[in-house]
A and B are shown apart, each in its own frame.
Chain A
Amino acid sequence: MTKFNAWNVIKNGLNGQSYWTRQWRDPEPKSSYDVVIIGGGLHGLATAYYLAKNHNIKNVAVLEKGWIGGGNAGRNTTIVRSNYMMPGNHEFYEHSLKLWENLSHELNYNVMFSQRAHVSLFHSPGAKDSVSRIYNIMRLHGTDAELWDLKTLKKKIPHLNYHNSRFPILGAAVQKRAGNARHDSVAWGYARAADTLGVDILQNCEVTGFTRKNGNIESIQTSRGIIKGKKIGFAVAGNTSVLWQMAELGNLPIESHKLQAFVSEAVKPLLDQVVVYGVGGAHFYISQSDKGSMVFGGDLDWYKSYAQRGNLPMVQDVAEAAMAIFPSLGRIRLLRHWAGVMDMTMDGSFFICKTPISNLYLNAGWNYGGFKASPASGWYFADLIANESPHNYVQNHNLERFEKGINIDERGAGPDPKLHG
Protein backbone atom coordinates (compact mmCIF):
# COMPACT_ATOMS: atom_id res chain seq x y z
CA MET A 1 0.00 0.00 0.00
CA THR A 2 1.49 3.33 -1.03
CA LYS A 3 1.65 5.78 1.83
CA PHE A 4 0.04 9.16 1.33
CA ASN A 5 2.69 11.85 1.75
CA ALA A 6 4.08 14.82 -0.12
CA TRP A 7 6.89 12.79 -1.67
CA ASN A 8 4.53 10.18 -3.14
CA VAL A 9 2.15 12.83 -4.41
CA ILE A 10 5.00 14.53 -6.28
CA LYS A 11 6.47 11.24 -7.52
CA ASN A 12 3.15 9.99 -8.84
CA GLY A 13 2.38 13.39 -10.28
CA LEU A 14 5.47 13.00 -12.45
CA ASN A 15 4.72 9.35 -13.26
CA GLY A 16 1.18 9.81 -14.51
CA GLN A 17 -0.31 8.57 -11.22
CA SER A 18 0.68 5.03 -12.16
CA TYR A 19 2.40 3.82 -8.99
CA TRP A 20 -0.44 4.02 -6.52
CA THR A 21 -1.37 0.59 -5.20
CA ARG A 22 -4.94 -0.40 -4.39
CA GLN A 23 -6.30 0.73 -1.02
CA TRP A 24 -6.87 -2.74 0.35
CA ARG A 25 -6.47 -6.29 -0.98
CA ASP A 26 -9.33 -8.50 -2.12
CA PRO A 27 -8.14 -11.79 -0.57
CA GLU A 28 -9.72 -15.23 -0.78
CA PRO A 29 -11.01 -16.32 2.63
CA LYS A 30 -8.59 -18.47 4.64
CA SER A 31 -10.09 -21.52 6.34
CA SER A 32 -9.50 -20.15 9.82
CA TYR A 33 -8.64 -16.95 11.70
CA ASP A 34 -7.80 -15.98 15.28
CA VAL A 35 -10.62 -13.45 15.25
CA VAL A 36 -13.50 -13.10 12.82
CA ILE A 37 -15.45 -9.84 12.96
CA ILE A 38 -18.86 -10.03 11.33
CA GLY A 39 -19.82 -6.66 9.89
CA GLY A 40 -17.54 -4.47 7.76
CA GLY A 41 -18.97 -1.15 8.87
CA LEU A 42 -17.05 1.51 10.76
CA HIS A 43 -17.22 -0.42 14.04
CA GLY A 44 -16.11 -3.74 12.56
CA LEU A 45 -13.25 -2.17 10.63
CA ALA A 46 -12.13 -0.10 13.62
CA THR A 47 -12.20 -3.23 15.79
CA ALA A 48 -10.03 -5.12 13.31
CA TYR A 49 -7.61 -2.19 13.09
CA TYR A 50 -7.21 -1.85 16.88
CA LEU A 51 -6.91 -5.64 17.32
CA ALA A 52 -3.91 -5.51 15.01
CA LYS A 53 -2.52 -2.17 16.20
CA ASN A 54 -3.08 -2.29 19.98
CA HIS A 55 -3.08 -6.02 20.65
CA ASN A 56 -0.91 -7.43 17.87
CA ILE A 57 -3.64 -9.85 16.79
CA LYS A 58 -3.25 -9.77 13.03
CA ASN A 59 -4.79 -13.02 11.84
CA VAL A 60 -8.17 -11.31 11.62
CA ALA A 61 -10.97 -11.34 9.06
CA VAL A 62 -13.77 -8.81 8.62
CA LEU A 63 -16.83 -10.29 6.90
CA GLU A 64 -19.02 -7.82 5.03
CA LYS A 65 -22.18 -8.95 3.26
CA GLY A 66 -22.13 -6.04 0.82
CA TRP A 67 -19.26 -3.68 0.17
CA ILE A 68 -17.20 -1.46 2.46
CA GLY A 69 -19.03 1.80 3.07
CA GLY A 70 -22.34 0.47 1.73
CA GLY A 71 -24.25 0.00 4.97
CA ASN A 72 -24.83 2.42 7.81
CA ALA A 73 -21.31 3.79 7.23
CA GLY A 74 -22.89 5.58 4.27
CA ARG A 75 -26.23 6.34 5.94
CA ASN A 76 -25.55 8.89 8.65
CA THR A 77 -25.28 12.63 9.19
CA THR A 78 -21.57 12.40 10.14
CA ILE A 79 -21.87 14.28 13.44
CA VAL A 80 -19.13 13.76 16.01
CA ARG A 81 -19.65 14.98 19.62
CA SER A 82 -19.20 13.82 23.20
CA ASN A 83 -21.99 15.60 25.10
CA TYR A 84 -22.99 12.67 27.30
CA MET A 85 -23.45 12.67 31.05
CA MET A 86 -23.98 9.10 32.29
CA PRO A 87 -20.99 7.34 33.90
CA GLY A 88 -19.33 5.15 31.31
CA ASN A 89 -20.86 7.05 28.41
CA HIS A 90 -19.08 10.37 28.89
CA GLU A 91 -15.66 8.78 29.33
CA PHE A 92 -16.27 6.54 26.33
CA TYR A 93 -17.46 9.25 23.96
CA GLU A 94 -14.79 11.69 25.15
CA HIS A 95 -12.12 9.10 24.35
CA SER A 96 -13.80 8.64 20.97
CA LEU A 97 -13.60 12.37 20.30
CA LYS A 98 -9.89 12.36 21.25
CA LEU A 99 -9.32 9.50 18.80
CA TRP A 100 -11.14 11.50 16.11
CA GLU A 101 -8.82 14.44 16.73
CA ASN A 102 -5.82 12.40 15.62
CA LEU A 103 -7.54 9.96 13.27
CA SER A 104 -6.25 11.35 9.96
CA HIS A 105 -2.64 11.02 11.16
CA GLU A 106 -3.30 7.67 12.78
CA LEU A 107 -4.73 6.17 9.60
CA ASN A 108 -2.61 8.15 7.10
CA TYR A 109 -5.93 9.02 5.50
CA ASN A 110 -7.69 12.36 5.52
CA VAL A 111 -11.01 11.77 7.29
CA MET A 112 -11.74 15.50 6.98
CA PHE A 113 -12.55 15.84 10.66
CA SER A 114 -13.76 19.37 11.13
CA GLN A 115 -14.19 20.64 14.69
CA ARG A 116 -16.70 23.29 13.76
CA ALA A 117 -18.72 23.24 17.04
CA HIS A 118 -21.97 21.51 17.89
CA VAL A 119 -24.62 24.05 18.82
CA SER A 120 -27.73 22.81 20.65
CA LEU A 121 -30.37 25.52 20.80
CA PHE A 122 -32.56 25.92 23.86
CA HIS A 123 -35.93 27.63 23.90
CA SER A 124 -37.09 27.89 27.51
CA PRO A 125 -35.58 28.54 30.96
CA GLY A 126 -36.36 24.91 31.85
CA ALA A 127 -34.46 23.65 28.82
CA LYS A 128 -31.55 25.92 29.75
CA ASP A 129 -31.44 24.49 33.29
CA SER A 130 -31.58 20.96 31.98
CA VAL A 131 -28.83 21.41 29.42
CA SER A 132 -26.71 23.40 31.91
CA ARG A 133 -26.75 20.40 34.20
CA ILE A 134 -25.53 18.08 31.44
CA TYR A 135 -22.88 20.50 30.18
CA ASN A 136 -21.65 21.13 33.75
CA ILE A 137 -21.26 17.40 34.23
CA MET A 138 -19.24 17.34 31.00
CA ARG A 139 -16.99 20.16 32.28
CA LEU A 140 -16.43 18.35 35.56
CA HIS A 141 -15.08 15.44 33.55
CA GLY A 142 -12.77 17.58 31.49
CA THR A 143 -14.84 17.75 28.31
CA ASP A 144 -15.22 21.17 26.74
CA ALA A 145 -18.70 22.60 27.09
CA GLU A 146 -20.08 26.11 27.21
CA LEU A 147 -23.29 28.09 27.05
CA TRP A 148 -23.77 30.85 24.50
CA ASP A 149 -26.18 33.63 25.35
CA LEU A 150 -28.40 35.12 22.69
CA LYS A 151 -25.96 37.89 21.82
CA THR A 152 -23.10 35.48 21.15
CA LEU A 153 -25.34 33.13 19.23
CA LYS A 154 -26.67 35.92 17.00
CA LYS A 155 -23.14 36.97 16.22
CA LYS A 156 -22.02 33.43 15.38
CA ILE A 157 -25.13 32.30 13.46
CA PRO A 158 -27.01 35.42 12.40
CA HIS A 159 -29.45 33.76 10.04
CA LEU A 160 -31.39 31.51 12.44
CA ASN A 161 -35.02 32.39 12.99
CA TYR A 162 -34.86 34.61 16.09
CA HIS A 163 -38.48 35.73 15.66
CA ASN A 164 -40.22 32.47 16.44
CA SER A 165 -42.75 33.50 19.07
CA ARG A 166 -43.84 29.94 19.90
CA PHE A 167 -40.29 28.66 20.55
CA PRO A 168 -38.04 31.72 20.93
CA ILE A 169 -34.33 30.93 20.89
CA LEU A 170 -32.80 31.86 24.26
CA GLY A 171 -29.28 30.61 23.65
CA ALA A 172 -27.32 27.46 22.96
CA ALA A 173 -25.28 24.74 24.62
CA VAL A 174 -22.09 24.38 22.68
CA GLN A 175 -19.32 21.85 22.36
CA LYS A 176 -16.60 23.52 20.31
CA ARG A 177 -14.46 20.43 19.75
CA ALA A 178 -17.38 18.60 18.18
CA GLY A 179 -18.08 18.67 14.47
CA ASN A 180 -18.19 16.53 11.36
CA ALA A 181 -16.09 14.04 9.47
CA ARG A 182 -16.31 12.55 6.01
CA HIS A 183 -18.04 9.18 6.44
CA ASP A 184 -16.58 7.37 3.41
CA SER A 185 -13.05 8.41 4.33
CA VAL A 186 -13.44 6.91 7.78
CA ALA A 187 -14.58 3.57 6.35
CA TRP A 188 -11.88 3.55 3.67
CA GLY A 189 -9.22 4.80 6.07
CA TYR A 190 -9.88 2.10 8.64
CA ALA A 191 -10.16 -0.59 5.91
CA ARG A 192 -6.87 0.48 4.35
CA ALA A 193 -5.05 0.76 7.67
CA ALA A 194 -6.36 -2.59 8.92
CA ASP A 195 -5.47 -4.28 5.64
CA THR A 196 -1.93 -2.87 5.84
CA LEU A 197 -1.54 -4.56 9.23
CA GLY A 198 -2.60 -7.91 7.73
CA VAL A 199 -6.36 -7.99 8.28
CA ASP A 200 -8.36 -9.77 5.54
CA ILE A 201 -11.38 -7.75 4.45
CA LEU A 202 -13.84 -10.12 2.82
CA GLN A 203 -16.55 -8.30 0.91
CA ASN A 204 -19.71 -9.92 -0.54
CA CYS A 205 -19.35 -12.45 2.25
CA GLU A 206 -22.73 -12.90 3.92
CA VAL A 207 -23.08 -15.04 7.03
CA THR A 208 -25.75 -17.72 6.59
CA GLY A 209 -25.33 -19.89 9.67
CA PHE A 210 -23.19 -21.07 12.56
CA THR A 211 -21.89 -24.51 13.54
CA ARG A 212 -21.73 -25.05 17.29
CA LYS A 213 -19.33 -27.39 19.09
CA ASN A 214 -19.00 -27.79 22.87
CA GLY A 215 -21.07 -24.67 23.41
CA ASN A 216 -18.80 -22.53 21.25
CA ILE A 217 -19.24 -21.38 17.69
CA GLU A 218 -16.78 -23.52 15.78
CA SER A 219 -17.31 -22.24 12.29
CA ILE A 220 -19.30 -19.73 10.30
CA GLN A 221 -21.14 -20.60 7.10
CA THR A 222 -20.88 -17.79 4.61
CA SER A 223 -21.66 -17.13 0.98
CA ARG A 224 -17.90 -17.54 0.36
CA GLY A 225 -17.51 -20.86 2.16
CA ILE A 226 -16.99 -22.05 5.71
CA ILE A 227 -14.71 -19.91 7.89
CA LYS A 228 -13.45 -20.90 11.32
CA GLY A 229 -12.73 -18.37 14.02
CA LYS A 230 -11.23 -18.89 17.47
CA LYS A 231 -13.06 -15.77 18.56
CA ILE A 232 -16.00 -14.18 16.83
CA GLY A 233 -17.33 -10.64 17.15
CA PHE A 234 -20.68 -9.29 16.00
CA ALA A 235 -20.60 -5.68 14.81
CA VAL A 236 -23.76 -5.56 12.71
CA ALA A 237 -25.88 -2.86 14.36
CA GLY A 238 -29.27 -2.69 12.67
CA ASN A 239 -29.31 -6.42 12.08
CA THR A 240 -27.98 -7.67 15.42
CA SER A 241 -31.19 -9.52 16.31
CA VAL A 242 -31.11 -11.46 13.04
CA LEU A 243 -27.59 -12.74 13.65
CA TRP A 244 -28.30 -13.28 17.35
CA GLN A 245 -31.21 -15.56 16.49
CA MET A 246 -29.16 -17.30 13.82
CA ALA A 247 -26.86 -18.26 16.71
CA GLU A 248 -29.95 -19.44 18.63
CA LEU A 249 -29.43 -16.98 21.46
CA GLY A 250 -33.05 -15.81 21.82
CA ASN A 251 -34.15 -12.24 22.42
CA LEU A 252 -32.22 -8.99 22.84
CA PRO A 253 -33.07 -5.62 24.43
CA ILE A 254 -33.04 -4.17 20.91
CA GLU A 255 -35.57 -3.13 18.29
CA SER A 256 -34.62 -2.20 14.74
CA HIS A 257 -35.92 1.19 13.65
CA LYS A 258 -35.17 3.33 10.66
CA LEU A 259 -33.77 6.82 10.75
CA GLN A 260 -33.85 9.11 7.74
CA ALA A 261 -31.30 11.64 6.60
CA PHE A 262 -31.44 14.25 3.87
CA VAL A 263 -29.00 16.00 1.54
CA SER A 264 -29.83 19.13 -0.39
CA GLU A 265 -28.31 20.60 -3.53
CA ALA A 266 -24.97 22.34 -2.93
CA VAL A 267 -25.04 26.01 -2.00
CA LYS A 268 -22.36 28.56 -1.11
CA PRO A 269 -21.03 28.51 2.48
CA LEU A 270 -24.06 29.07 4.70
CA LEU A 271 -23.51 27.33 8.01
CA ASP A 272 -20.23 26.94 9.89
CA GLN A 273 -21.52 24.77 12.75
CA VAL A 274 -23.65 21.74 13.46
CA VAL A 275 -26.97 23.13 14.69
CA VAL A 276 -29.45 21.09 16.70
CA TYR A 277 -33.04 22.13 17.28
CA GLY A 278 -35.09 20.00 19.65
CA VAL A 279 -38.30 21.19 21.15
CA GLY A 280 -41.68 19.61 21.78
CA GLY A 281 -42.15 16.95 19.12
CA ALA A 282 -39.49 18.34 16.82
CA HIS A 283 -35.96 17.08 16.52
CA PHE A 284 -33.71 18.47 13.83
CA TYR A 285 -29.96 18.63 13.21
CA ILE A 286 -28.19 20.24 10.31
CA SER A 287 -24.73 20.95 8.98
CA GLN A 288 -23.17 21.83 5.66
CA SER A 289 -20.91 19.35 3.91
CA ASP A 290 -17.61 20.29 2.30
CA LYS A 291 -19.32 20.05 -1.09
CA GLY A 292 -21.86 22.63 0.02
CA SER A 293 -24.87 20.38 0.50
CA MET A 294 -27.00 20.88 3.57
CA VAL A 295 -27.03 17.56 5.46
CA PHE A 296 -29.83 17.14 7.97
CA GLY A 297 -32.04 14.71 9.77
CA GLY A 298 -34.73 14.32 12.36
CA ASP A 299 -36.44 11.58 14.30
CA LEU A 300 -37.07 7.91 13.66
CA ASP A 301 -40.05 6.90 11.56
CA TRP A 302 -41.66 5.80 14.87
CA TYR A 303 -42.45 2.22 13.86
CA LYS A 304 -40.22 -0.83 13.85
CA SER A 305 -38.71 -1.57 10.47
CA TYR A 306 -35.80 -3.23 8.71
CA ALA A 307 -36.54 -1.38 5.46
CA GLN A 308 -33.75 0.96 4.35
CA ARG A 309 -36.20 3.51 3.01
CA GLY A 310 -37.99 6.31 4.77
CA ASN A 311 -41.63 7.29 4.91
CA LEU A 312 -43.21 10.61 4.03
CA PRO A 313 -44.66 11.88 7.35
CA MET A 314 -41.13 12.22 8.71
CA VAL A 315 -39.99 14.04 5.57
CA GLN A 316 -42.72 16.58 6.28
CA ASP A 317 -41.80 16.81 9.99
CA VAL A 318 -38.16 17.45 9.17
CA ALA A 319 -39.05 20.03 6.51
CA GLU A 320 -41.27 21.84 9.01
CA ALA A 321 -38.52 21.84 11.63
CA ALA A 322 -36.08 23.18 9.03
CA MET A 323 -38.42 26.03 8.17
CA ALA A 324 -39.06 26.82 11.82
CA ILE A 325 -35.40 27.35 12.59
CA PHE A 326 -33.83 28.09 9.21
CA PRO A 327 -36.37 29.90 7.01
CA SER A 328 -33.70 30.71 4.41
CA LEU A 329 -33.76 27.02 3.40
CA GLY A 330 -37.30 27.43 2.05
CA ARG A 331 -36.40 27.31 -1.64
CA ILE A 332 -33.63 24.73 -1.41
CA ARG A 333 -34.19 21.41 -3.19
CA LEU A 334 -33.52 17.99 -1.78
CA LEU A 335 -31.06 15.90 -3.76
CA ARG A 336 -31.68 12.65 -1.96
CA HIS A 337 -32.83 11.13 1.27
CA TRP A 338 -32.37 7.67 2.69
CA ALA A 339 -32.98 5.60 5.80
CA GLY A 340 -30.61 3.48 7.82
CA VAL A 341 -31.63 0.71 10.19
CA MET A 342 -30.72 1.43 13.81
CA ASP A 343 -30.34 -0.91 16.75
CA MET A 344 -32.54 1.01 19.20
CA THR A 345 -31.95 -0.30 22.70
CA MET A 346 -34.17 -0.35 25.77
CA ASP A 347 -32.18 2.40 27.52
CA GLY A 348 -30.57 4.21 24.60
CA SER A 349 -27.05 2.97 25.38
CA PHE A 350 -24.87 0.51 23.51
CA PHE A 351 -23.48 -2.97 24.19
CA ILE A 352 -19.82 -3.97 24.14
CA CYS A 353 -19.88 -7.23 26.04
CA LYS A 354 -19.44 -10.95 26.30
CA THR A 355 -22.32 -13.26 25.42
CA PRO A 356 -23.69 -16.62 26.62
CA ILE A 357 -21.35 -18.24 24.05
CA SER A 358 -17.82 -18.08 25.40
CA ASN A 359 -16.05 -17.31 22.11
CA LEU A 360 -18.66 -14.82 20.90
CA TYR A 361 -18.46 -11.08 21.64
CA LEU A 362 -21.13 -8.47 21.01
CA ASN A 363 -20.87 -4.92 19.73
CA ALA A 364 -24.37 -3.55 19.15
CA GLY A 365 -27.12 -1.13 20.09
CA TRP A 366 -25.74 2.15 18.76
CA ASN A 367 -29.09 3.91 18.51
CA TYR A 368 -28.74 7.26 16.65
CA GLY A 369 -25.13 7.69 17.62
CA GLY A 370 -22.96 5.02 16.02
CA PHE A 371 -20.93 7.24 13.72
CA LYS A 372 -19.13 9.32 16.34
CA ALA A 373 -18.60 6.24 18.48
CA SER A 374 -16.78 4.18 15.88
CA PRO A 375 -13.13 4.82 16.94
CA ALA A 376 -13.77 4.13 20.64
CA SER A 377 -16.15 1.31 19.78
CA GLY A 378 -13.38 -0.42 17.85
CA TRP A 379 -10.86 0.41 20.58
CA TYR A 380 -12.85 -1.08 23.48
CA PHE A 381 -14.33 -3.97 21.51
CA ALA A 382 -10.81 -5.00 20.45
CA ASP A 383 -9.75 -4.61 24.09
CA LEU A 384 -12.58 -6.89 25.23
CA ILE A 385 -11.80 -9.54 22.61
CA ALA A 386 -8.07 -9.49 23.31
CA ASN A 387 -8.17 -9.29 27.12
CA GLU A 388 -11.37 -11.21 27.82
CA SER A 389 -12.62 -8.62 30.28
CA PRO A 390 -14.32 -5.28 29.66
CA HIS A 391 -12.54 -1.99 30.29
CA ASN A 392 -13.95 0.11 33.18
CA TYR A 393 -15.69 2.49 30.76
CA VAL A 394 -17.78 -0.31 29.26
CA GLN A 395 -18.11 -2.58 32.27
CA ASN A 396 -21.85 -1.91 32.53
CA HIS A 397 -22.53 -1.85 28.79
CA ASN A 398 -23.70 -5.44 28.85
CA LEU A 399 -26.94 -7.40 28.53
CA GLU A 400 -27.21 -7.98 32.29
CA ARG A 401 -27.62 -4.33 33.22
CA PHE A 402 -31.42 -4.44 32.83
CA GLU A 403 -31.88 -7.27 35.30
CA LYS A 404 -29.51 -5.52 37.73
CA GLY A 405 -31.43 -2.25 37.39
CA ILE A 406 -28.41 -0.24 36.28
CA ASN A 407 -29.80 0.94 32.95
CA ILE A 408 -27.73 3.65 31.27
CA ASP A 409 -30.59 5.87 30.19
CA GLU A 410 -29.35 9.34 29.11
CA ARG A 411 -32.85 10.64 28.37
CA GLY A 412 -34.69 8.87 31.16
CA ALA A 413 -37.18 7.71 28.55
CA GLY A 414 -37.72 4.20 29.92
CA PRO A 415 -37.92 0.83 28.18
CA ASP A 416 -39.29 1.95 24.81
CA PRO A 417 -36.58 1.79 22.14
CA LYS A 418 -38.14 4.31 19.76
CA LEU A 419 -37.97 7.06 22.40
CA HIS A 420 -34.19 7.01 22.79
CA GLY A 421 -33.31 9.55 20.10
Chain B
Amino acid sequence: MIRINCPYCGERDHSEFNYGGDATIKYPSLNSSEREWTEAIFFRKNIKGFQLETWHHSHGCRMWLVVERSTVTHEIKSVKPCHPDFQKVVENNK
Protein backbone atom coordinates (compact mmCIF):
# COMPACT_ATOMS: atom_id res chain seq x y z
CA MET B 1 0.00 0.00 0.00
CA ILE B 2 1.23 3.49 -0.83
CA ARG B 3 0.56 5.99 1.97
CA ILE B 4 -0.29 9.51 0.77
CA ASN B 5 -0.06 12.34 3.28
CA CYS B 6 -3.10 14.41 2.30
CA PRO B 7 -2.54 18.04 3.37
CA TYR B 8 -6.19 18.25 4.44
CA CYS B 9 -6.85 14.83 6.00
CA GLY B 10 -3.48 13.40 7.04
CA GLU B 11 -1.79 10.17 5.95
CA ARG B 12 -4.12 7.71 4.20
CA ASP B 13 -3.94 4.52 2.11
CA HIS B 14 -3.72 5.13 -1.63
CA SER B 15 -6.89 3.08 -2.10
CA GLU B 16 -8.77 6.18 -0.87
CA PHE B 17 -7.43 8.09 -3.86
CA ASN B 18 -7.75 7.97 -7.63
CA TYR B 19 -4.69 8.43 -9.78
CA GLY B 20 -4.99 11.33 -12.21
CA GLY B 21 -1.86 11.48 -14.33
CA ASP B 22 1.04 13.71 -15.32
CA ALA B 23 0.77 16.97 -13.35
CA THR B 24 3.10 18.93 -15.60
CA ILE B 25 0.88 19.02 -18.70
CA LYS B 26 0.09 22.53 -19.84
CA TYR B 27 -2.57 22.93 -22.51
CA PRO B 28 -1.62 25.32 -25.31
CA SER B 29 -3.72 28.30 -26.35
CA LEU B 30 -6.91 27.58 -28.29
CA ASN B 31 -5.48 28.80 -31.59
CA SER B 32 -2.38 26.60 -31.31
CA SER B 33 -1.53 24.12 -34.03
CA GLU B 34 -2.91 20.59 -34.28
CA ARG B 35 0.59 19.35 -33.52
CA GLU B 36 0.81 21.22 -30.20
CA TRP B 37 -2.60 19.99 -29.07
CA THR B 38 -1.72 16.42 -30.04
CA GLU B 39 1.47 16.68 -27.98
CA ALA B 40 -0.41 17.99 -24.95
CA ILE B 41 -3.26 15.48 -25.04
CA PHE B 42 -1.62 12.30 -26.27
CA PHE B 43 2.15 12.42 -25.69
CA ARG B 44 3.79 11.76 -22.32
CA LYS B 45 7.28 11.77 -20.85
CA ASN B 46 6.46 8.54 -18.99
CA ILE B 47 9.27 9.16 -16.51
CA LYS B 48 11.07 6.26 -14.87
CA GLY B 49 11.94 7.87 -11.52
CA PHE B 50 10.45 10.81 -9.63
CA GLN B 51 7.54 12.53 -11.36
CA LEU B 52 4.88 15.07 -10.50
CA GLU B 53 1.43 13.51 -10.76
CA THR B 54 -2.12 14.30 -9.70
CA TRP B 55 -4.23 12.24 -7.29
CA HIS B 56 -7.85 12.82 -6.34
CA HIS B 57 -8.79 12.11 -2.72
CA SER B 58 -12.11 10.75 -3.93
CA HIS B 59 -12.95 8.80 -0.75
CA GLY B 60 -11.83 11.64 1.53
CA CYS B 61 -11.85 15.39 1.12
CA ARG B 62 -12.36 15.12 -2.68
CA MET B 63 -9.51 17.55 -3.30
CA TRP B 64 -6.98 17.21 -6.13
CA LEU B 65 -3.37 16.87 -5.03
CA VAL B 66 0.04 17.09 -6.69
CA VAL B 67 2.28 14.26 -5.54
CA GLU B 68 5.97 13.83 -6.26
CA ARG B 69 6.43 10.07 -6.39
CA SER B 70 8.99 7.64 -7.77
CA THR B 71 7.53 5.36 -10.45
CA VAL B 72 10.17 2.76 -9.57
CA THR B 73 10.16 2.58 -5.75
CA HIS B 74 6.79 4.36 -5.14
CA GLU B 75 8.54 6.58 -2.55
CA ILE B 76 6.75 9.91 -2.09
CA LYS B 77 8.74 13.13 -1.68
CA SER B 78 5.97 15.71 -1.39
CA VAL B 79 2.19 16.13 -1.45
CA LYS B 80 0.61 19.52 -2.14
CA PRO B 81 -2.82 20.82 -3.06
CA CYS B 82 -3.22 21.26 -6.82
CA HIS B 83 -4.54 24.77 -6.72
CA PRO B 84 -1.86 27.40 -5.93
CA ASP B 85 -4.25 29.36 -3.67
CA PHE B 86 -4.94 26.26 -1.58
CA GLN B 87 -1.19 25.67 -1.43
CA LYS B 88 -0.83 29.13 0.18
CA VAL B 89 -3.58 28.41 2.68
CA VAL B 90 -1.99 25.10 3.66
CA GLU B 91 1.42 26.78 4.02
CA ASN B 92 -0.02 29.57 6.19
CA ASN B 93 -1.81 27.13 8.47
CA LYS B 94 1.31 25.11 9.20
In the bound assembly, the distance between CA atoms of A114 and B45 in angstroms comes to: 40
Q: Which one of B19, B35, B72, B73 contacts A303 once the chains associate, using CB atoms below 8 Å? A: B19
Asked whether B48 lies within 8 Å of A418 as measured between CB atoms, the reply is no
Min C-beta distance of A351 to chain B, whole Å: 12
Q: Which bucket holds chain B's interface residue count?
A: 20 to 34
Q: Which one of A256, A302, A415 contacts B46 once the chains associate, using CB atoms below 8 Å? A: A256
With A311-B1, A312-B1, A403-B38 as contacts: A305 and B74 at CB distance below 8 Å: yes
In the bound assembly, the distance between CA atoms of A311 and B44 in angstroms comes to: 24
Q: Which one of A239, A250, A307 contacts B74 once the chains associate, using CB atoms below 8 Å? A: A307
Asked whether B44 lies within 8 Å of A252 as measured between CB atoms, the reply is yes
Asked whether A251 lies within 8 Å of B72 as measured between CB atoms, the reply is no
Asked whether B39 lies within 8 Å of A251 as measured between CB atoms, the reply is yes
With A304-B53, A306-B48, A307-B74 as contacts: A415 and B19 at CB distance below 8 Å: no
Asked whether B19 lies within 8 Å of A302 as measured between CB atoms, the reply is yes
Asked whether B38 lies within 8 Å of A252 as measured between CB atoms, the reply is no
Proximity bits, A241-261, B CB within 8 Å = 1, else 0:
110010000111111100000
Asked whether A402 lies within 8 Å of B38 as measured between CB atoms, the reply is yes
Proximity bits, B34-52, A CB within 8 Å = 1, else 0:
1100110111111010010
A416 within 8 A of B: yes
The residue on A at minimum CB distance from B39 is A251
**Could you say which residues of chain A place their CB within 8 Å of the CB of B41?**
346, 402, 415
Q: Which one of A241, A252, A302 contacts B18 once the chains associate, using CB atoms below 8 Å? A: A302
In the bound assembly, the distance between CA atoms of A417 and B22 in angstroms comes to: 11
B61 within 8 A of A: no
B14 within 8 A of A: yes
Q: Which one of A239, A313, A417, A418 contacts B14 once the chains associate, using CB atoms below 8 Å? A: A313
The residue on B at minimum CB distance from A401 is B42
The residue on B at minimum CB distance from A402 is B42
In the bound assembly, the distance between CA atoms of A346 and B74 in angstroms comes to: 23
Q: Which one of B1, B48, B74 contacts A242 once the chains associate, using CB atoms below 8 Å? A: B48
Min C-beta distance of A398 to chain B, whole Å: 13
With A304-B53, A304-B71 as contacts: A251 and B46 at CB distance below 8 Å: yes
Asked whether B2 lies within 8 Å of A255 as measured between CB atoms, the reply is no
In the bound assembly, the distance between CA atoms of A241 and B48 in angstroms comes to: 9
In the bound assembly, the distance between CA atoms of A417 and B43 in angstroms comes to: 11
Q: Within B67-89, which residues are at the interface with A (CB < 8 Å)? A: 71-74
Min C-beta distance of A341 to chain B, whole Å: 10
With A311-B2, A312-B1 as contacts: A304 and B19 at CB distance below 8 Å: yes
Asked whether A307 lies within 8 Å of B72 as measured between CB atoms, the reply is yes
**Could you say which residues of chain A place their CB within 8 Å of the CB of B53?**
303-304
With A254-B46, A304-B19, A306-B72 as contacts: A313 and B1 at CB distance below 8 Å: yes
**Could you say which residues of chain B place their CB within 8 Å of the CB of A241?**
44-46, 48
In the bound assembly, the distance between CA atoms of A309 and B21 in angstroms comes to: 20
**Could you say which residues of chain B place their CB within 8 Å of the CB of A312?**
1
In the bound assembly, the distance between CA atoms of A254 and B34 in angstroms comes to: 19
Q: Within A72-86, which residues are at the interface with B (CB < 8 Å)? A: none
The residue on A at minimum CB distance from B18 is A302
The residue on A at minimum CB distance from B2 is A311
In the bound assembly, the distance between CA atoms of A311 and B48 in angstroms comes to: 18
Asked whether B44 lies within 8 Å of A253 as measured between CB atoms, the reply is yes
**Could you say which residues of chain B place their CB within 8 Å of the CB of A253?**
42-44
The residue on A at minimum CB distance from B17 is A303
In the bound assembly, the distance between CA atoms of A302 and B74 in angstroms comes to: 13
**Could you say which residues of chain B place their CB within 8 Å of the CB of A250?**
43
Asked whether B72 lies within 8 Å of A255 as measured between CB atoms, the reply is no
**Could you say which residues of chain B place their CB within 8 Å of the CB of A417?**
44
Min C-beta distance of B36 to chain A, whole Å: 10
Min C-beta distance of A299 to chain B, whole Å: 12
Proximity bits, A108-134, B CB within 8 Å = 1, else 0:
000000000000000000000000000
Min C-beta distance of B60 to chain A, whole Å: 15
25 cross-chain CB contacts under 8 A: A239-B48, A241-B46, A241-B48, A250-B43, A254-B46, A303-B2, A303-B14, A303-B53, A305-B74, A306-B48, A306-B71, A307-B72, A307-B74, A311-B2, A312-B1, A313-B1, A346-B41, A346-B42, A402-B43, A403-B34, A403-B35, A415-B42, A416-B21, A417-B44, A418-B19
Identify the B interface with A (CB < 8 A): 1-2, 13-15, 18-19, 21, 34-35, 38-39, 41-46, 48, 51, 53, 71-74
Identify the A interface with B (CB < 8 A): 239, 241-242, 245, 250-256, 302-307, 311-313, 346, 402-403, 415-418
